Amino acid sequence: MCRYHSDKKQITNELKVAHGMIKKSLVLLARNSSSLEILKHSKQAEGRLQKICSMILSNHIHHCILPIRRQKDIKDPINKLLESFRLVQKYNLTITNSYTHLTQVCRPSSCNS
């Protein structure tokens, strides 16, 4: 299993920023802040986490999959690449399903608080 992370310091910093954003959302929730304010901060954290996932996936492709391809074993990197994309697709589907659920449940009259 490949564990090389060339951007480890940058990923660590980004995770700390995302952690701070999530903590801010928790504070806002504890203070009974408006739903829109909590949602705004939560979406910012979500965007940061998506950026981090992209960085990790890019790193994985460049340092784990492509070197295997250079070893002439073409089947293994293709399967590993497909596995990586399936994981990203699953993550994006979860986000899409959450948004769809919110738009169906949350009506303007009930979600302005």
**Structural domain contains residue 112:** no
**Structural domain contains residue 113:** no
**Structural domain contains residue 61:** yes
The count of domains in the chain is 1
**Structural domain contains residue 91:** yes
**Structural domain contains residue 18:** yes
In the predicted structure, residue 27 carries a pLDDT above the cut 90: yes
Confidence bin at 78 (pLDDT 50/70/90): low
Q: Whole domain around residue 37: which residue ranges?
A: 8-105
Dist. CA 18–CA 42, nearest whole Å: 9
Q: What distances in angstroms separate CA 88 from CA 27, 59, 70, 72, 107, one per listed residue?
A: 29, 14, 24, 26, 30
* Percentage of residues of the chain with pLDDT beyond 70: 55
Q: Where residue 95 sits, what CATH number does that domain have?
A: 1.20.58.1000
| Tens digits of residue pLDDT in 7-20 | 889 999 999 999 99
**Structural domain contains residue 33:** yes
Range 32-38 contact pairs with CB under 8 angstroms and sequence separation of 24 or more = 34/112, 34/113, 35/111, 35/112, 35/113, 36/112
| Tens digits of residue pLDDT in 48-69 | 988 888 888 778 777 776 666 5
Q: What is the model's pTM?
A: 0.61
